[in-house]
Structure 1
Amino acid sequence: MLPAMTDAAAPPLPNASELTQDGPAVRLFLVDGSAYLFRAYHALPPLTRKSDGLPVGAVQGFCNMLWKLLRDMQGDAPTHLAVIWDHSEKTFRNALYDQYKAHRPPPPEDLIPQFPLVRDATRAFGVPAIELPGYEADDLIAAYACKAREVGGEAIIVSSDKDLMQLVGDGVSMYDPMKGVRIEREQVFEKFGVYPEKVVDVQALCGDSVDNVPGAPGIGIKTAAQLITEYGDLDTLLARAGEIKQPKRRETLINFADQIRLSRQLVQLDCDTPL
């Protein structure tokens, strides 16, 4: 359970031995609520409630998308389902690095009043709307996915967010609802040039301009993947940075080692987030 949450909590996951149905005892669908909502907001024209002019277009779009997901997964039904939300912009990562996500603009003014409405709409579908102060939705998704895997179950993350791809592996996959495709290990490799267990190391090197994760200046995904593949992992790479032949790359890894390690902390999802 999530005793500190301000919203409806999902029921705790059972032990795998408690269920006897065919397939995984736990089949958990985790919907990235914020991604759904922002996609709905930008895809549809503005809509207001006639009685008072309240903006509701994004809520309507979100409901249509959630309803489609519920319909589409009837032949692939989960045992558990939840929509996971970001609680606020400030999280433990801001304490690590005060410039984390500092460049992001505020949400559109006509979207802000729809935040509580869309959570109410989620619950109206009979689906838990889960959020936790101090943590991002991605961390809650990570914790629930890891817990499902621990009990011998399966987690399907309904999102195409690259930051979640580090979680993909045995018992955990992603589903892009817009393209209708499953994201598994090979699809992660196509994106990053490494498999999921090395994604964090690559992200630590290349950084993320959207979230203002600094990384190593001048190193992109392709170079980062090559370095991690050659040296095995980030710690080994940084320890042996003096061996790198290219002077500029060698100096970058040596001079920005602490920044790269900080970036790893920023991109690493917390599977120990309280549940």
Structure 2
Amino acid sequence: MAQNHLYLVDGSGYIFRAYHQLPPLTNRHGQPVGAVYGYTTMLWKLADELGKAEGPTHLAVVLDKGSHTFRNDMYDAYKANRPPPPEDLVPQFPMIRDATRAFSLPCIEEAGFEADDIIASYTRAAVAAGWHVTIVSSDKDLMQLIQPGVDMYDTMKNERRGADYVMAKFGVQPEQLGDVLALMGDSVDNVPGIPGIGPKTAAKLITEYGSLEAALEAAPSMKKSKMQENLIEHADMARLSRRLVALHDAMDLPEPLDDLTLKGIPLEPLQAFLEHHGFKSLLARAGAGEQRLEAVMFE
């Protein structure tokens, strides 16, 4: 019997890529749908690729439910610098959920958690069950999950990534990446880190001392420098940053693993969705109901 292979699609990453890649579009109802169209096209392309490649036996699209998560309770400035989503993108979020369901794919989200935490929890459960996992994303935070049996797939670059990629990019193994991210911080997510420490210095410290905690404990005996001062002065913020970048992988799964089984994508709901929005080129590709959706069948 073939090994089960779960694909977890970082839907939030897809949404913003789709929004920024396409010009503003409106559907026949006058609603903005540029991101919806791009997202639908990307999901279709993924389905087509996976049908021809090492196909998944199970798949889910994972989305962010809302902006407030347990990390905001831990650190109220978390993601505080992020601008709100563009005004014309906000009404497209529900339509993107509709698009996912039009493909008859599980669409998973959970209040209080980020999509990354859901992906981490499903990855842990699948690995424990002896499954292989592929995370469809290019998010550096999710690279912490790479391990034997778990890889990442960047659809934009058509590139599969394992531990070698993380080592080449960050200078550490995936299990040490959280310590590096904690030291360097993240201005986009407003993770404080240690001032003045970038990716290379962070990797050097973790390689030399083995962990964030060991580096912080060794700081008083390091050669006097601005870096040493910052490691001592901002140690507590580094520890907080470590908790912020850690992925919560012990959630109760919103849907059981076995419910993510792929059974093929029926034509009717997808055709109805495409007709509603007037996506004529995609409707033509679907054969307007006259033929089976070969391009998006996972069989």
Q: TM-score scaled by structure 2?
A: 0.83
- SS of the equivalent of 2:60 reads strand
The answer to whether residue 239 in structure 2 is matched with residue 261 in structure 1 is yes
Q: Return the match for 2:163 from 185, 196, 200.
A: 185
| Distance apart, 1:195 and its partner CA | 0.7
- The 4+ residue runs of structure 1 with deviation greater than 4 A are none
Give percent identity, aligned residues only. 59
> How far is 1:170 from its partner?
1.2
Q: Kindly indicate whether residue 46 of structure 2 is the aligned counterpart of residue 69 of structure 1.
A: yes
CA distance in 1, matches of 2:224, 2:120: 37
Residue identity matched to 2:107: A
From 132, 135, 142, give the equivalent of 1:164.
142
The residue number in structure 2 matching 1:217 is 195
Match of 1:11 in 2: none
1:110-121 equivalences in 2 (<5 Å): 110-121=88-99
For the residue of structure 1 that corresponds to 2:241, the secondary structure is helix
1:228 aligns with 2:210: no
Give me the whole-angstrom Cα distance separating, in 2, the residues matched to 1:48 and 1:60.
10
Give the count of matched residue pairs: 252
Match of 1:49 among 16, 27, 38: 27
Q: Distance in 1 between matches of 2:172 and 2:56?
A: 29
Cα offsets for 1:226-274 (capped at 9, x unmatched) = 0010011111111111121142111111111110000000000011122
How does 1:1-275 map onto structure 2 within 5 Å? 21-22=1-2, 24=3, 26-51=4-29, 53-74=30-51, 75-275=53-253
Distance 2:163 2:103 in 1: 32
Cα deviation 1:136-156 (Å, max 9, x = unaligned): 000000111111111111110
1:68 aligned partner, one-letter code: K
SS at structure 2 position matched to 1:126: coil
User: What are the superposed Cα offsets for residues 88-115 of structure 1, whole Å, 9 maximum, x if unpaired?
Assistant: 0100000010000000000111111110
Task: Kindly indicate whether the alpha-carbon contact (under 8 Å) linking 1:160 and 1:175 is maintained by their aligned counterparts in 2.
Answer: yes
Which whole-Å CA distance do the structure 2 matches of 1:49 and 1:73 have between them?
A: 29
Structure 1, unpaired ranges of 5+: 1-20
Query: SS at 1:160's partner residue?
Result: coil
User: Is residue 169–residue 184 contact of structure 1 (8 Å, CA) maintained in 2?
Assistant: yes
CA positional deviation for 1:73: 0.7
Matching residue's letter, 2:237 = Q
Deviations 1:28-74 (A, max 9, x none): 000010110111111011111223x1111211110110011011011
**1:201–1:233 contact (8 Å) kept in structure 2:** yes
Q: 2:258 maps to what in 1?
A: none
Query: Contact conserved, 1:149 with 1:170, CA < 8 A, in 2?
Result: no
In structure 2, stretches of 5+ residues that fail to align are 254-299
Tell me the CA shift for residue 126 of structure 1: 1.0
